[in-house]
Structure 1
Amino acid sequence: MKVVVAYDGSEHSHKAIEQLHLLNGTIDAVVVSVVRGPALGIRGAAVEVDQAEIDHARSALDKVSGELAAAGLTARTRLAMGEPADVVVDVAEEEKADLIILGTRGLNLAKRIVMGSVSASVLHHAPCSVLVVR
């Protein structure tokens, strides 16, 4: 089974990683971390992504990869830039994933209506099954 796991180092994304331990059979896992950006500034000029954010994401991926290896699981990691929901869906399509696993921050209804959420967007656009973990 090919699985894409969205990971940002948060408690919710750790819970998503934990789900890999519950799956049976051969698992081909890809752990993806997304740094928002690059973006357009107020005058339309490109705003670069903060290198510290990239370094933090890379460090989080390295750490979780080590934790998975210590538990006997292997996973490829991918660091990408863009809108998190779009990137997760794109990676799932590229990888021909059977399942996407991601955490949720549990946004309240008002915030979800105004802002949307990564998990809601992935649920609506994913090319495969999605497991959202609380």
Structure 2
Amino acid sequence: MKVVVAYDGSKHAHKAIDQLQILNGPLDAVIVSVVRGPALGIRGTAVEVDQAEIDHARAALDKVAAELAARGVTARTRLAMGEPADVVVDIAEEEKAELIILGTRGLSLAKRIVMGSVSSNVLHHAPCAVLVVR
């Protein structure tokens, strides 16, 4: 089964990673971390992403891949930039994923309206089944 797991290093993302252990059969897992950006500044010029954010995301991916390998789960990692929901959906399409797994932070209705919800957006635009973990 081809699975894409969205990973940002949070405890909710770790719960999503843990779901790989309960899936049956051979897995082709891709762990995806998305750094928001690049963004447009107030004058419409591109604002670069902080290299420290990229380095932190890469280190988190490397760490979780090593943790999975220690549990006998092989996974590829992908680091991307952009809007997290869009990137996860795009990668799932590219990878021809059968399942996307991601955590949710459980935002209140007000925060979801203002900030949006990555899990909600993925759920509504995914090309495959989606498992949202609390």
TM over 0.5: yes
TM-score computed with the length of structure 1 as normaliser: 0.99
Q: Distance in 2 between matches of 1:79 and 1:89?
A: 14
Query: After TM superposition, what 4+ stretches of structure 1 lie above 4 angstroms from structure 2?
Result: none
Q: Distance in 2 between matches of 1:70 and 1:9?
A: 18
Please list, as runs of the form range in 1=range in 2, the aligned pairs for 1:40-51 lying within 5 A after superposition.
Answer: 40-51=40-51
Aligned-partner SS, 2:131:
strand
Q: Distance in 1 between matches of 2:38 and 2:130?
A: 27
Partner of 1:61: 61
Q: Distance in 2 between matches of 1:111 and 1:59?
A: 29
Please list, as runs of the form range in 1=range in 2, the aligned pairs for 1:77-92 lying within 5 A after superposition.
Answer: 77-92=77-92
Partner of 1:116: 116
AA partner of residue 5 (structure 1): V
Q: Distance in 1 between matches of 2:9 and 2:103?
A: 11
Q: Percent identity among equivalent residues?
A: 85
AA partner of residue 11 (structure 1): K
Partner of 2:35: 35
- List per-residue Cα deviations over 1:61-111 (Å, max 9, x = no partner): 000000000000000000000000000000000000000000000000111
Partner of 1:4: 4
Partner of 1:20: 20
Q: Distance in 2 between matches of 1:54 and 1:115?
A: 22
**What is the aligned-residue RMSD (CA, Å)?**
0.4
Q: Distance in 1 between matches of 2:6 and 2:113?
A: 22
Aligned-partner SS, 2:68:
helix
Q: Distance in 2 between matches of 1:114 and 1:84?
A: 16
Aligned-partner SS, 1:88:
helix
Aligned-partner SS, 2:3:
strand
TM-score computed with the length of structure 2 as normaliser: 0.99
Q: Distance in 2 between matches of 1:113 and 1:40?
A: 22
Aligned-partner SS, 1:97:
coil
Unpaired segments ≥5 residues, structure 2: none
